[in-house]
Amino acid sequence: QTALLNERTTKSKAMYAHASEHLSGGVASSYQGRDPWPIYIESGAGDRITDVDGNEFYDFHNGFGSMVQGHAHPAIGEALAKRYPLGTHFAAATEDVIDVADELARRWGLPKWRFTNSGSESTMDAIRIARAYTGRDTVMKIFGSYHGHHDTVMVSIGVEYDKIGDRENYASLAYGAGIPQATVDMTIAVPFNDAGAMERRIERLAEEGRLPACVIMEAAMMNLGVVLPEPGYLEAVREITSKHGIVLIFDEVKTGLAIAAGGATEKFGVTPDLVTLAKVLGGGLPSGAIGGSEEVMSVVESGKVYQVGTYNGNPLSMAAAKASLLEVLTPEAYVRLGELNDRIVAGCQAVIEKYDLPGYAVGIGSKGCVTFSTEKITDYEGFKNAQDAELCDLAWLWNMNHGIFMTPGREEEWTLSVVHSDAAIDAYVDTFDKLAAALTA
């Protein structure tokens, strides 16, 4: 499968030779590459993308889960075309920012909003707000959760299983070099779906005089395939954090606008103190947001915290966000997404059963995946133990050679768009069926 993909991507190979001269690794950002060379993309339309060799794919990667609107959506194109001649950047608010904040407040039931340009900026600022509000330094996160590339949260992800430590006392470990040990030590990780372990760790930290400022978490884990919260877990977390005056942050960079109109907050009916958004919000333009309660966000309003950025609330991004919210990501669109996701999950589950594969299909909103494990995975430890790395690599190559675009790696899930066709879904399932047949032949 590797040789086949290499044969089909010779222009990408040539481009890589040129790209490597002045682009580190031939790409703009880590995780945009693959061995032996990256695949360069030329264009996208609706549910499809085309690479520079002319290979066409149905896109299930969707820009790391950003393009729930689909590529080159006409409503967003029109909003951008209208905005451009009026000027694209003032570092002063435009009317669209107000409209976007209104709509997000309505969807999340959180009254106060600010804007950023990415998920990392959103989580970085939210953590600072929580620290300022509580006057505490320690940050609690879920082991294995990704929250962006700033130092505080580049901790306890992608760790070898034997280095994790004991479940009641997980180690704090840097993800990659260049992160100061003092920062790493300030971040404490606990297992997902285990409110008891969280509470015990919080109580011990309290005894040490290190109560966390916040718990930052995804309500449904998205960078571990898809791991859903067990019934009662989020409610318990809400109760524990409230009891200790800890700011609860739902990082909805992946779930927000992707699993429901009001994200995980709406889907699971538990409201955090702060929520972070990015990805889908900008409809393909860089943008992010932080929403919160009056009380917690008061540290921004009072000027105690500087929540600042030259491009925050950029007019182009906000025009795209407004068109996305009001014209594309409508209540009907979420009904359609749900139908599409049911179809892909059921299709994949049927293949698993037909070939008696060790796995299960899981989905929520526009997101889902096939998890290769006989046991249900509820946290990072389970995931590390169960996912078959070789099978995941093979499945990725197989998909790419059959016109299904995904990101390499076993942590990502599929993201459907509101313009995905039934044909795209059926192609995904059919490709999986062919892989299963080849594997079991």
Considering only the stretches 44-52, 78-86, 218-226, 400-408, report the one whose residues sit in contact with ligand PMP under the rule CB under 6 A: 218-226
Coil, strand or helix at 370: strand
As measured in angstroms, the least distance from the Cβ of 116 to ligand PMP is 9
- Distances in Å between the alpha carbon of 308 and those of 91, 114, 255, 420? 10, 9, 24, 36
Is cis: bond before 111, omega within 30 of 0? Answer: no
Number of residues that bind ligand PMP (CB under 6 A): 15
Task: Reply yes or no on whether 146 is catalytic.
Answer: yes
Considering only the stretches 85-93, 146-154, 242-250, 361-369, report the one whose residues sit in contact with ligand PMP under the rule CB under 6 A: 146-154
Token pair 């039931």 is at which residue? 109
Give the whole-angstrom CA distance, residue 215 versus residue 186: 12
Task: Reply yes or no on whether 279 is catalytic.
Answer: yes
The secondary structure of residue 48, as a DSSP letter, is: E
Query: In this complex, which beta carbon is closest to ligand PMP, that of residue 119 or of residue 359?
Result: 119
Question: Is residue 253 near ligand PMP by the rule CB under 6 A?
Answer: yes
Q: Which residues of 279-296 are buried (b: 16+ CB within 10 A; e: fewer)?
A: bbbbbbbbbbbbbbbeeb
Task: Reply yes or no on whether 47 is catalytic.
Answer: no
Which two three-digit tokens encode residue 169? 């006392």
Question: Is residue 119 near ligand PMP by the rule CB under 6 A?
Answer: yes
The answer to whether 114 and 277 are in contact (CB under 8 A) is no
The active-site residue out of 112, 267, 279, 384 is: 279
Which two three-digit tokens encode residue 368? 């889902």
- The answer for residues whose C-beta is within 8 angstroms of residue 216's C-beta and 6 or more apart is 123, 126, 127, 139, 140, 141, 145, 147, 153, 249, 251
Tell me which residues in 184-203 interact with ligand PMP (CB under 6 A).
none
Query: In this complex, which beta carbon is closest to ligand PMP, that of residue 33 or of residue 403?
Result: 33
Give the whole-angstrom CA distance, residue 172 versus residue 158: 12
Question: Is residue 123 near ligand PMP by the rule CB under 6 A?
Answer: yes
Which two three-digit tokens encode residue 144? 């294995």
Question: Is residue 218 near ligand PMP by the rule CB under 6 A?
Answer: yes
Question: Is residue 118 near ligand PMP by the rule CB under 6 A?
Answer: yes
Give the whole-angstrom CA distance, residue 136 versus residue 133: 8
As measured in angstroms, the least distance from the Cβ of 371 to ligand PMP is 18
Question: Is residue 251 near ligand PMP by the rule CB under 6 A?
Answer: yes
Question: Is residue 64 near ligand PMP by the rule CB under 6 A?
Answer: yes
Tell me which residues in 277-336 interact with ligand PMP (CB under 6 A).
278
Considering only the stretches 141-149, 172-180, 345-353, 380-388, report the one whose residues sit in contact with ligand PMP under the rule CB under 6 A: 141-149
Q: Using CB under 6 A, which of 113, 133, 146, 233 touches ligand PMP?
A: 146
Which two three-digit tokens encode residue 61? 């990667």
Residue number with the smallest Cβ distance to ligand PMP: 119
Active site residues: 146, 251, 279
Residues that bind ligand PMP (CB under 6 A): 64, 118-120, 123, 146-148, 218, 222-223, 251, 253-254, 278
